[in-house]
Structure 1
Amino acid sequence: MPPASELEPEAYEIGVGDTVTVHVWRNPELGQSITVRPDGYISLPLMGDVKAEGKRPEELASEITLGLADYIRTPEVTVMVTNPVSKEFRNRIRITGQVMSPQSVAFQPGMTVLDLVLLAGGLTDFAADGRATLTRMIDGQYQSYSLDLGAMLKDGDMSANHALQPGDVISVPRKQLFRGEL
């Protein structure tokens, strides 16, 4: 069984495409909902462009507070991420090779190997289901683990039905004649 990397919830970092809502207490005309541009910036009244990408919401709020302090006495700024588009892309899992529909899907807690195989429409007739692999990033290195999808799908052996993590890739190779698989 592949080791579960110890994923602790990380503070959310704002990314390109995210929608953030900036609220300035007692100054509603300065608050707005903004999408982070492809260059990583947002534009705000009185401040102009502010780098948002890579910052936590509270860091961005502090920076905006400092920028508005020149114009407003004791500004109170709150930044909320209302549409975290970038996180969805960063936390994807993928299935490739001999499946009906290779794809990349958004990770959902609790997803397993079987869930992803079923989302991909199952295996093709040419899938070497006994040689599938799960590739996972562990301590900055990609590691591959064998999966026997045939035992899982045909025999009901759920020992290969591992819990998935963001960034996992399942690869299902093609059967080969010299291995006696065809």
Structure 2
Amino acid sequence: MVKFDIFLILLATGCSNNSGKLPSATTYTSNTTSVADYQYLIGPGDNLSIFVWRNPDLSGSFIVRPDGMVTTSLVEDLVVSGKTPTNLAREIEEELGKYINSPRVTVSVNNFLGPLSEQVRVIGEATTPSAINYTEKMTLLDLMISVGGLTEFASGNDAKLIRMVDGKQTTYELQIDDLIKEGDIEQNIDMLPGDIIIIPEAWY
């Protein structure tokens, strides 16, 4: 059933805009996201450390709820999911400004999970098909190490990368066998949040 589902996904993506091979350059950018200016987005399950200068009673650690919100001492049901720590700090300052004079807030993130849009998914003939949390400057090789590489049945050079570019689902060809087995570093392209990699089974 799993293999059949992967076949259906490949069939569906074949109808999308197909730009063929990715550029050989290691940095690939779309219209909305680039490796160079990537900023982490907070998501459910993240542990936030919120520090309010000179107000220790308002500071503390907070777990982002499944609904993407946290509740602090003075601010209830504050939406934090999908925001950068810096943007969230400025919003908290604005809210706290209703109660205290000129608050200064710092937000840091521990135990990163991130929203689903920040994950990179690998399905098919990987040793451990998984959804991996995106990290800054993640490459294809980093991702393959995270999922344990390819199975003995994988056709790595027939793998596909599905990425949203200019609001459209675009499919690219990947040469994972060349990267892992031949050490062709030109195939070690940068990953972006939301990428999906499909690795089919070889047909013998």
- TM-score, normalised to structure 1, is 0.73
Q: Flag the 1:15–1:133 CA change in 2: closer, same or farther, 3 A.
A: closer
1:1-182 to 2 correspondence within 5 Å? 1-2=21-22, 4-6=28-30, 7=34, 9=37, 14-18=42-46, 19-23=48-52, 25=54, 27-45=55-73, 47=74, 49-54=76-81, 56=87, 57-66=89-98, 68=99, 72=100, 74-83=101-110, 85-87=112-114, 90-176=117-203, 182=204
Mapped to 2, the partners of 1:59 and 1:48 lie a distance apart of: 11
TM-superposition CA deviations, 1:107-150 (whole Å, max 9, x none): 23333223322332222222122311112221222211111223
Q: Which moved more, 1:36-45 or 1:158-167?
A: 36-45
Query: Share of identical aligned residues, percent?
Result: 30
Aligned-residue CA RMSD (Å): 2.9
Higher Cα radius of gyration: 1
Where 2:120 maps in the other structure, the secondary structure is strand
- Which segments of 5 or more consecutive residues in structure 2 lack a partner in the other structure? 1-20
Mapped to 2, the partners of 1:12 and 1:152 lie a distance apart of: 27
Mapped to 1, the partners of 2:72 and 2:137 lie a distance apart of: 39
TM-superposition CA deviations, 1:1-37 (whole Å, max 9, x none): 4262252636665543332414153x43343333333
- TM-score, normalised to structure 2, is 0.66
Q: Aligned letter for 2:108?
A: V
Give the number of equivalent residue pairs. 170
- Which segments of 5 or more consecutive residues in structure 1 lack a partner in the other structure? 177-181
Where 1:29 maps in the other structure, the secondary structure is helix
